[in-house]
Structure 1
């Protein structure tokens, strides 16, 4: 279920405390799920603690306002800041070991005379995050931000009232897991809170250390780029007008792809082909039309379903289908993959 929450306070710490009080049970449930996953993956507790401690230090250095909010979340939920940071740094913890499967398919069509048309599936482990949250808040400079994320995370996929949005896909690189890094979910939050242009978003990403890889697709009213990020470097792939820009879970940049780590049983190549073959669906004017058109594709791999032959804790599923409107800033979404989208269940939440 996708839940909804709006923060009234503009004070980061108070906003966090209100979040923690409102979603205490969900935050604790999410932590329990990830703790069980780390145990099943045989992560040593001291290794997890080192990643979380490093994430805390890097957040203090590179995103202190976000840390103020997360401390407030911990206070409101009667949890520790390390527990809340574990939820934000789950990608960095998982970078210690590449699990089976893959997540997320994103596509953008950039018209010659209008804003980008986007769509993404958010795919994740089926045993985790049955409930997620669309939250909105007012950033320090007065802009409004709305973002979809798992409980406890500062951000994931979203848009701000300045007309900048971000999509989000995990990647895997040989440089992952070495050293301390700013969690990629917190990097996404900084971009939403601070950037109004593609160049500003790229500058924020270039300035922070990372310990896990991801690609953040940044869209504004006239541009779209995939910002591929690894601890060893960054690459920017720009959309070409009247063409599709698609990204799944492997690097496109030649230099970074040389360090690609192929995840066992990943469908990243098949999903990229599916998006490319159905570019006309991504080019449709409204988010709902895009989702319904892709959902009508027979056996489309972008609508991921759990594989019963895999262990329960390694079964992947499409948890949400999300589009971003930067012209009248909003996210639109539906639980499940495109194959599950209905007109009645489609929701629009404005920044």
Structure 2
């Protein structure tokens, strides 16, 4: 597991430190996305145009984040559009209409002590398994830690106010991938600025989007699961345990969602986790995110591959793998990360990171 501490207070300082710290791995991450984009039919000139459109949208919404990516590009010796394109990889893949097996599985809820806890798998392409790290930002407006990919502003994480972000990709007919604020930039802005769930919701609602994702936001006492797309943002009704995979649950947004294809296992994964959290096997006494993550160990033999394993010879773009497992304990401002799937314990050990 790679970890980087980015101590700069200004965008240029943070970008310079990130460029230095990721110099060994960023080129491979960019090359991996070049190959993935090409496999989906995106031509270089369209990638450049979409990357610049994402840059313009981000500059209008969060100029400091756009400047940070510009500085990262300069410090890394790559064109600005290329860094912005990979930061907007969700948007580019939406523009390409790339088919998806699904992606992450998330569960969050209230533990017996009345505090919120959450956990998720991060499933992505096995060819990009070396392209992520845990980044610590101790001098951000709100110090935070995030698991993200090299070149991306943020993803899953928690900040010093105890606000956590869990993340699932979604697909909607309104997704153009063109000219919106990247969803990963929205996650970063929530992490570095929001003091509680309500503030995070306000940030999410302020962003003009070009692609869809589910944001599960949790602090020590409040949880909100929000489905966000260019067609709108909907908060799902409260539940004892919030379960989300990769399909819309809000009826209004679901009406415009892209059909769930035969290659997707989002519905079976959701059914498995819903069953686990509804009965004795759901471990309602889970007191930490690491204990909650035990629910994510389900495999195909259990009804669905929540913990996902790719065939070694799977073609590029179809080799889905659980690259990391993440748990959030907002009351302790703690993010726990396991390299690989949850079934890797106890050989693999949790690494704990505290924000602030």
For 1:269 and 1:321, the matched residues in 2 are separated by: 20
Q: Relative to structure 1, is the Cα distance of residues 23 and 178 closer, same or farther in structure 2, using a 3 angstrom cutoff?
A: closer
Q: 1:247-282, CA deviations, whole angstroms, 9 ceiling, x for partnerless residues?
A: 000001000000111244111011111111111247
* TM-align CA RMSD: 1.9
For 2:250 and 2:10, the matched residues in 1 are separated by: 40
Q: 1:8-40, CA deviations, whole angstroms, 9 ceiling, x for partnerless residues?
A: 221221111111122123111111011111112
Gaps of 5+ in 2: none
- 1:37 matched residue in structure 2: 36
TM-score computed with the length of structure 2 as normaliser:
0.92
Residues 1-351 of structure 1 aligned to structure 2 (within 5 Å):
2-96=1-95, 97-111=97-111, 113-141=113-141, 143-177=142-176, 179-240=178-239, 243-261=240-258, 262-279=260-277, 280-281=282-283, 284-292=286-294, 294-295=296-297, 299=302, 301-307=305-311, 310-342=314-346, 345-351=349-355
Q: Relative to structure 1, is the Cα distance of residues 134 and 238 closer, same or farther in structure 2, using a 3 angstrom cutoff?
A: farther
For 1:46 and 1:310, the matched residues in 2 are separated by: 28
- Displacement of 1:238: 4.3
For 1:344 and 1:312, the matched residues in 2 are separated by: 26
- Displacement of 1:46: 2.5
Bigger shift: 117-126 or 305-314?
A: 305-314
Gaps of 5+ in 1: none
- Displacement of 1:313: 3.0
For 1:123 and 1:168, the matched residues in 2 are separated by: 11
Bigger shift: 104-113 or 192-201?
A: 104-113
- Displacement of 1:144: 1.1
Extract structure 1 runs of 4+ deviating beyond 6 A.
none
Q: Work out the number of aligned pairs and report it.
A: 347
SS of 1:9's partner is: coil
SS of 2:207's partner is: coil
TM-score computed with the length of structure 1 as normaliser:
0.93
